[in-house]
Amino acid sequence: MTRLHQLFEQQGQSPWLDNLRRGWITSGELTRWVDDGVRGLTSNPSIFQKAIAGSSDYTEQFADLLASGASIEDTYWALVTTDIADALALLRPVYDASAGHDGFVSVEVDPGLAHDTAGTEAAARALASAIDQPNLYVKIPGTEAGLAAIATMIGEGRSINVTLLFSVERHRAVMEAYVAGLEAHDGDLSAISSVASFFVSRVDTEVDRRLEAIGSDEALALRGRVAVANAKLAYQAFLETFRGPRWDALAARGARVQRPLWASTSIKNEAYPDTLYVDSLIGPDTVNTLPDDTLAAFVDHGTVSRTIDVGVDEAQAVIDGCAAVGLDLNDVTAQLEHEGVSAFAKSFDELLGTLREEADRL
């Protein structure tokens, strides 16, 4: 039994892998991770940009697609959905054995649609219909425009991974969209699933930069503490949302809670422990999606202990301390959302450019 098995069996947290490349599927590497306790998988445009642009594993399929007359954008989606379909098949036994609790694979809509509600809805429907597997999560950014799309997709009975969440306030709005979507859906709710991907390490990266610019002793004492505190308060918001008469009525129809999923959990500052954003956020009804390097580090020397609801008052004091030293956390999270959407859109566009160059070469 690895520490990944212990996370789930002892603490109720599901470890997922935040990476995908075709060579891992064909070589059996992904199967080995699942055997070691990985219970799901997430992807994004940046992951596919690195996988496809940096490997010859996709060349044969790409050439065949070009020969068939497919457009460059169509070839992108064909390459991506092939990997997603293979990963879905590999993780389907986890989905079946857990009665739909885990075993999910996520694929994101075109990030250029992050501020387009109708476009996001159409893209989510198209992806869900094209892949058509019960353990598929379609990823929708949790922007203001995304909220209505999330509620609509849930109301249509689709399972959604809401991504790019940085603030507790937006997390609350996403959970409300999920609950509203469930209420709009007729009949049994047990086949609908959702996670809310709350980003962690990127918060510390930007906050630490601003704290160092402020430079006071009080500000510097907050470095490396804000991201975990922010996530712990997000978990408290989760506990508040999924209790009480409104939720009980949905649970009676088979509804599942929308689990917080800790994303961006690799360290960006080498001065911090490499398992900081895993060890500090362990608790029931949560997911942690980890890059392979962080997964390996946690398997080797992580600490399996319930921490998500330890020191909640201290976490609130850390967040209050940001305001006290003049750091606007709302501005930080708004900036990070903008940067996240832009980074994924850039990766998407860069990969299309790479595919065009490869098409010209061929």
Q: Is the pLDDT of residue 54 over 90?
A: no
* Dist CA 318 CA 337 (whole Å): 21
Does the pLDDT at position 174 exceed 90? yes
* The predicted structure's pLDDT at residue 361: 82
Residue 14 phi/psi, 5° resolution? Answer: -100, 120
pLDDT tens by residue, 110-133: 999 999 999 999 999 999 999 999
Tens of pLDDT, residues 193-214: 999 999 999 999 999 999 999 9
* Residue 139 falls in the annotated catalytic set: yes
At what angle are helices 144-155 and 168-184 packed, to 10 degrees?
Answer: 30
pLDDT (average), residues 41-59: 91
pLDDT one-digit tens code per residue, 217-235: 999 999 999 999 999 999 9
Residue-level pLDDT at 55: 84
Residue 64 has pLDDT above 90, yes or no: yes
Chain mean pLDDT for the chain: 96
Domain boundaries defined on the chain:
3-202+230-309+337-361
Task: Specify the pTM.
Answer: 0.96
**Taking Cα atoms as reference points, which of 1, 361, 331 lies closest to residue 169?**
331
The answer to whether residue 362 scores a pLDDT higher than 80 is no
- CA atoms of 86 and 126, how far apart (whole Å): 18
Topology, domain 3-202+230-309+337-361: TIM Barrel (3.20.20)
Residue 186, phi then psi, degrees to nearest 5: -85, 140
User: What angle (nearest 5°) sits at the alpha carbon of residue 287, between those of residues 284 and 293?
Assistant: 130
Active-site annotation holder among 50, 139, 232, 268: 139
